Amino acid sequence: MITIKEIAQLAGTSRGTVDRVLNDRGKVNPLMQERVLQIAREHGYRSNPYAKALVSGKQKYRVGVVINSVGNEFFDDVLLGMRDEASQSRAYGIELVIREIKGWDEGEQLGALDMLLQDDLDALAITPVDTPAVYDRLNALAPLPIVTLNTDIHKLDSKLAFIGCDYLNSGRLCGDIATLALPKGGRVGVVTGSFHLSGHNQRVEGFREAVAVNPLIQVTDVRENNDDNDLSYEVTHRMIAECAPDLIYFCAAGTAGGMQAVREAERAIKVVAVDDSPVTRQYLEQGDMLALVTQQPYKQGSTMVNILYNYLVLSLRPEHVHHYMENQVRLRHSI
């Protein structure tokens, strides 16, 4: 593997100049620039991450995080994952500045962003609302590296990575469970978060696709709970009364509220749901739920820090932009 020193020799210049070219620090004679680049290309130069890490050992990188975690348990593990990873020696130098907000309000999100930007940031991680205002604001931040978490915004100039879930696949796996548990068919009700969130709709779509292998399974009803436990209770209660489902699929948040209604029902109703939380996990272990399909929130958080560490400290850009966490099926005895 060729080094900067050798490139400098070959190009008849100094290591400093090669460094300037290779790292876009500007102020280099265009001819020399081209010459260095040419040599680097020919010899397949790749920088040594350890040397980089060693020399920039003292430097701190501030990573701003805007996350709508308030009142949404799912993000607890995402936060845990990023904090754990940032405190590891292998992410030495990354400092997280976290602003937690509630819900998906554009104004709140922009406000939190402004607060963060009052100090210098080296990178930003955000669970963005996909509206024009947020898009414009983020786009204007270039070349600040941005990681979108859990929800994506397309065509962002300086988007380094998206980290999240394959919703369609998540729905299909829940459909697989339903198919397993209803060998003789049956009626299925779905409680979703919002008809306006593409992730939720994709889950329902994937679920329908998967249960279609057994024509005796009918999805009789899909209702919204706005990710709210109280509303979820109401909606589920009514659905049970009106549709008499054999199985219910909770494909968003508000599962705890819905389960209340399930337990009050007179007939036994099978349940499959998404995301691991103390509450859902307890239902699973007690046998009140067949399965959970999770999107690895902890790993979402740790992956985010890891990607930014590689980029900021080691100058390693991720190989691809989209990082889908594998959906995992959790059963009663999953650890």
Return the one option of a second copy, DNA, none that residue 26 interacts with (CB less than 5 to 8 A, by type).
Answer: DNA
Q: Does 210 bind a second copy (CB under 8 A)?
A: yes
Shorter beta-carbon distance to DNA: residue 89 or 118: 89
The full length of the chain comes to 335
Size of the site for DNA (CB under 7 A): 31
Shorter beta-carbon distance to DNA: residue 54 or 335: 54
Helix 255-264 vs helix 229-243: crossing angle, to nearest 10: 40
Angle subtended at Cα 108 by Cα 104 and Cα 76, rounded to the nearest 5 degrees = 55
Q: Does 41 bind a second copy (CB under 8 A)?
A: no
Q: Which positions from 257 through 286 interact with a second copy, judged by CB under 8 A?
A: none
Q: How far is the C-alpha of 55 from the C-alpha of 76, rounded, in Å?
A: 35
CB 313 within 8 Å of CB 50 = no
- For residue 310, the minimal CB distance to DNA (Å) is 14
Sign of the alpha-carbon dihedral angle for 7, 9, 15, 17:
negative
Q: Does 10 bind DNA (CB under 7 A)?
A: no
Shorter beta-carbon distance to DNA: residue 43 or 137: 43
- For residue 236, the minimal CB distance to a second copy (Å) is 21
Sign of the alpha-carbon dihedral angle for 157, 159, 164, 166:
positive
Q: Which positions from 108 through 137 interact with DNA, judged by CB under 7 A?
A: none
Return the one option of a second copy, DNA, none that residue 4 interacts with (CB less than 5 to 8 A, by type).
Answer: DNA
Q: How far is the C-alpha of 141 from the C-alpha of 8, rounded, in Å?
A: 35
Shorter beta-carbon distance to DNA: residue 6 or 288: 6
Return the one option of DNA, a second copy, none that residue 32 interacts with (CB less than 5 to 8 A, by type).
Answer: DNA
Return the one option of DNA, a second copy, none that residue 3 interacts with (CB less than 5 to 8 A, by type).
Answer: DNA
Shorter beta-carbon distance to DNA: residue 2 or 168: 2
Return the one option of DNA, a second copy, none that residue 28 interacts with (CB less than 5 to 8 A, by type).
Answer: DNA
Distances, alpha carbon 115 to alpha carbons 101, 136, 146, in Å: 12, 17, 16
Q: How far is the C-alpha of 262 from the C-alpha of 256, rounded, in Å?
A: 10
The Cα diameter of the chain in Å comes to 85
Sign of the alpha-carbon dihedral angle for 260, 72, 91, 165:
positive
CA Rg value for the chain: 25
Q: Does 330 bind a second copy (CB under 8 A)?
A: yes
Residues near a second copy (CB under 8 A): 46, 48-51, 53-54, 57, 89, 166, 169, 172-173, 175-177, 179-181, 183, 206, 210, 213, 287, 290-291, 326-335
